[in-house]
Amino acid sequence: MFGKRKYGCGKCGSSFKDRDELLKHADEMHNKITTYICITCDEEFNSESAFRLHMARDHRI
Ligand SMILES: [Zn+2]
Ligand SMILES: [Zn+2]
């Protein structure tokens, strides 16, 4: 199943289907400046823990 992309790069708008893809992208392209964007509701987070908490709490993922 594709289609549900939950990890977005806040620098260039690219989206990824898993965290490792995003981290690898941010590492290579943006010098590890990583922003997490919830594709479901467009909220932005600057830390993984905040992002995960949001997903768990608001989307139950
Ligand atoms: Zn990017
Ligand atoms: Zn959300």
Residue 5's pLDDT band (cuts 50, 70, 90): low
CATH number at residue 26: 3.30.160
Given this model, what pLDDT does residue 56 score?
94
Residue 21: Cβ within 10 Å count: 15
- Residue 45 placed within a domain: yes
Q: Is the pLDDT of residue 2 over 60?
A: no
- As for how many domains the chain has, the answer is 1
- Residue 47 placed within a domain: yes
From ligand 1's centre to the CA of 5, what distance in Å? Answer: 14
Q: Could you report the per-residue pLDDT of 14-61, keeping only the tens digit for each? A: 888 888 888 888 878 877 556 777 888 878 887 888 889 999 999 987
Q: How far apart are CA 33 and CA 15, in angstroms?
A: 15
| Ligand number, closest to the Cα atom of 51 | 2
Q: How far apart are CA 10 and CA 53, in angstroms?
A: 18
From ligand 1's centre to the CA of 27, what distance in Å? Answer: 9
Q: How far apart are CA 2 and CA 30, in angstroms?
A: 25
- Output the pTM of the full model: 0.47
Report the pLDDT averaged over residues 1-20. 75
Range of the domain at 42: 7-59
